[in-house]
Chains A and B, each alone.
Chain A
Amino acid sequence: MSEDADVELGDRLRLSVLGILGLVEAARSRYPRLRRPLAGLQAMHEAHLALLDQVGPGSDAVPTGVPITPDGPAAALTQVRGAEASHQRMLGRTSVRAASGAFARMLASMGAGVAAHLAALPEAP
């Protein structure tokens, strides 16, 4: 892997963060009971996005489609949990593949942040 490949990895991760941020925002907007429990997750993803923007300009690509939030806050919370767990795994895998040690450290820490926020989520809304 080269440092150029890290830029590509960063682009892909940026898309992933944008996608999951959209999902969290949609769930908070649709279900007032999720506003507070998901506030920390949203703030974390916004901070992660700002970090990725610092690393490189990124592409202009944006996630396609509108996030779908299922009926009911409990189902929406379950959906967010699943998406966050998938995002966490992606961050872990990408960290291992990164060429730059500093970039790998940042991605691993982002994944750890997702893991911590998942652990702090309530069982039910």
Chain B
Amino acid sequence: MTAVDALQETLAAEHAAVYIYGALGGRTSQSATPTLYAAVRDAYVTHRSQRDQLTRTLRDLGVEPVASEVAYDAPDDLDTPEAIGAAAAALEDGCAATYAALVAETVGDQRRWAVTALMGAAVRQVDMGAAPGILPGAADLISS
């Protein structure tokens, strides 16, 4: 895999995250669950910003950024705040794995960006109610 491939995969993950957080936000109540609402809103804003940064980075490299899918499979059974938090934490877990892969395939500023994104995803997992991981995005290293 090249750095550009990894950047494109990360951008694809950001497209999905923006879509799914939009769906989760629509199921979250600002009055009933203000903390969860704020966490989902902040995560949506972060992923949208990261999507835009990656798009610019790829264009600067002379590469056409991968486009968003028309729709993504949003999680089912989002009837409780716990279910919404769990769905968001699972989404961040997948993003963390993508950022960790990007760390491995890049150097310099691009790697720095990936490291920061990985740390952010790990913290958001906790904010969404998940237990903190020992190796977010690279749990495969524990069992190997």
Choose one: B108, B122, B133, B141; the contact of A106 (CB below 8 Å): B141
- Give the nearest-CB partner of A88 in chain B: B119
Per the CB 8 Å criterion, the residue count for chain B at the interface is 32
A113: B residues at CB distance < 8 A: 122, 132-136
- Docked-complex contact B138 and A106, CB < 8 angstroms: yes
Dominant SS among interface residues on chain A: helix
Q: Name the CB-closest residue of B to A115.
A: B119
Q: Mark A84-107, 1 if CB is under 8 A from B, else 0.
A: 000010001001100001101110
* Chain B residues within 8 Å of A44, by CB: 132, 134
**Residues in A whose Cβ lies below 8 Å from that of B123:** 115-116, 118-119
Q: A48-B134, A108-B115, A109-B118 are in contact. Are A116 and B104 (CB under 8 A)?
A: no
What 9 pairs between A and B have smallest CB-CB spacing?
A116-B132, A101-B104, A109-B138, A112-B122, A116-B122, A105-B104, A112-B136, A119-B126, A109-B135
Binding site for B on A (CB under 8 A): 40, 43-44, 47-48, 51, 88, 92, 95-96, 101-102, 104-106, 108-113, 115-120
